[in-house]
Amino acid sequence: MLRLHRPLLIVTAVALLLCLVAYASMGTLKPMQRWQWMDIAGEGGSAIMAGIWLLMLLSSRPKGRVTTLLAAGLAAIMLGESADCLDEFFTVPKEQLWDNFLEAALMLGGMLTLTSGMYYWRQEQFRLNEHLQKRERLFRSHRAFDRLTQLATAEYLREQIEQEQQRQPLPNCAVVLLDIDGFHLINRHFGQPQGDLVLQAVGHMLLLNLRNEDLLCRYAGDRFAILMPETSLASAESMAQHLCFMVRHMQHRSMGQHIDIRIRHACAMADAPAETVLTKLNRVLDTSTRECDALAAA
């Protein structure tokens, strides 16, 4: 991972070398008896720790705005502490203020840059946590997931529908079934590996547009199912239409060629046994598929 950040590391090393050259050429080396060992240990140790934090950060994160800001802030703090430490070894004439300015500018600039990076890192963590919360139900049972999409399976969906029905005796939970239109044509024209990528892309798009409490599953083949607690049929229909819209506007490409992805949906309340509800939804989608195929053939 450090190789990705080689330019930043080179710039930091060069800046550290220039700082040393500046003090050595414009200052006078102090006698050893005038060295303040406590200050050297504190300032030099702080510089070393900032450098270690910088290396740890760059070895664990890819390129990006957050990484750049955090790394630049730590690098500036390391240089500022290094300059402060070099001040213990060299005497700079009082009329020359560049050393004081250098220390203050590097430390203040580094702290501001690091704070800015931590702000964006915090926003990044919020988004990641929200994404993980949407998968929370799935992680309660590590066996009930689809290896390709990393989503819950149909079996897990049935279990969750039954649990919702036990928790809420009255029908207060909606189920949405989604089907990728003409998925077999995508496999035929672009190959199965590309078809697998389409399934993964659709799964991610659906997941990003759902609430934290909703459960997204790969039902079977090119069909996805969504369990929506505390949701009316009208709200589920509205959400399903929104999901269809978002998928339709995905920019998915294979070898430079755009793949047009469309999905159809069917909605129902979970007011019957799970298998009955899912069979009903499958029938609706199967009927819709036959009608579409008939129109295409005509």
Q: Which residue reads 């990705």 in tokens?
A: 4
pLDDT tens per residue across span 187-213: 888 888 888 999 999 999 999 899 888
- How many of the other CB atoms lie within 10 Å of CB of 43? 21
| Selected residue with higher pLDDT from 103 and 128 | 103
Please say which residue of 66, 101, 134 terminates a domain: 134
CA distances (Å), 165 to each of 23, 225, 252, 275, 291, in order?
Answer: 75, 17, 38, 13, 33
The predicted pLDDT at position 152 comes to: 86
Written as one letter, the residue type at 176 is: V
Task: Say yes or no: 99 and 197 in one domain.
Answer: no
Please say whether the beta carbons of 227 and 175 come within 8 A: yes
Task: Say yes or no: 31 and 129 in one domain.
Answer: yes
Residue 2 exposed, middle or buried by CB count within 10 Å (0-12, 13-18, 19+): exposed
User: Which band of pLDDT confidence, cut at 50, 70 and 90, is reported for residue 291?
Assistant: low
Q: H-type helices in 27-97, by residue range?
A: 37-58, 65-86
Please say whether the beta carbons of 227 and 172 come within 8 A: no
Number of domains in the chain: 2
Q: How many Å apart are CA 103 and CA 116, to the nearest integer? A: 20
The predicted pLDDT at position 86 comes to: 85
The predicted pLDDT at position 287 comes to: 87
Backbone angles phi, psi at 170, to 5 degrees: -80, 145
Task: Judge whether residue 134 has pLDDT over 90.
Answer: no
Is the pTM here over 0.95, yes or no? no
Percent of the chain with pLDDT over 90: 33
Please say which residue of 134, 156, 181 terminates a domain: 134
Task: Say yes or no: 174 and 290 in one domain.
Answer: yes
50-54, 88-92, 255-259, 275-279: the lowest-pLDDT one: 255-259
Q: Which residue reads 């802030």 in tokens?
A: 73
Task: Say yes or no: 157 and 290 in one domain.
Answer: yes
CA distances (Å), 225 to each of 18, 107, 293, in order?
Answer: 61, 53, 22
Task: Say yes or no: 122 and 149 in one domain.
Answer: no
The CATH number assigned to the domain holding 227 equals 3.30.70.270
Closest by alpha carbon to 263, among 188, 209, 192, 191?
A: 209
Task: Judge whether residue 292 has pLDDT over 80.
Answer: no
Q: Which residue reads 């080689």 in tokens?
A: 6
Task: Say yes or no: 156 and 125 in one domain.
Answer: no
Q: Which residue reads 């664990």 in tokens?
A: 60
Task: Judge whether residue 217 has pLDDT over 80.
Answer: yes
The predicted pLDDT at position 133 comes to: 63
Task: Say yes or no: 285 and 148 in one domain.
Answer: yes
Question: Which residues constitute the domain of residue 26?
Answer: 2-134
Secondary structure element (H or E) that encloses residue 219, with its range: strand 215-220
The predicted pLDDT at position 182 comes to: 86
Q: How many Å apart are CA 84 and CA 99, to the nearest integer? A: 8
Task: Say yes or no: 86 and 120 in one domain.
Answer: yes
38-42, 139-143, 183-187: the lowest-pLDDT one: 139-143
Task: Say yes or no: 159 and 287 in one domain.
Answer: yes
Please say which residue of 99, 134, 169 terminates a domain: 134
Q: How many Å apart are CA 202 and CA 188, to the nearest integer? A: 18
Q: Which residue reads 């102090």 in tokens?
A: 30
Task: Say yes or no: 226 and 265 in one domain.
Answer: yes
pLDDT tens per residue across span 116-126: 999 999 988 88
Task: Say yes or no: 7 and 110 in one domain.
Answer: yes
Q: Which residue reads 């050393």 in tokens?
A: 99
Please say whether the beta carbons of 205 and 250 come within 8 A: yes
Q: How many Å apart are CA 267 and CA 178, to the nearest integer? A: 9
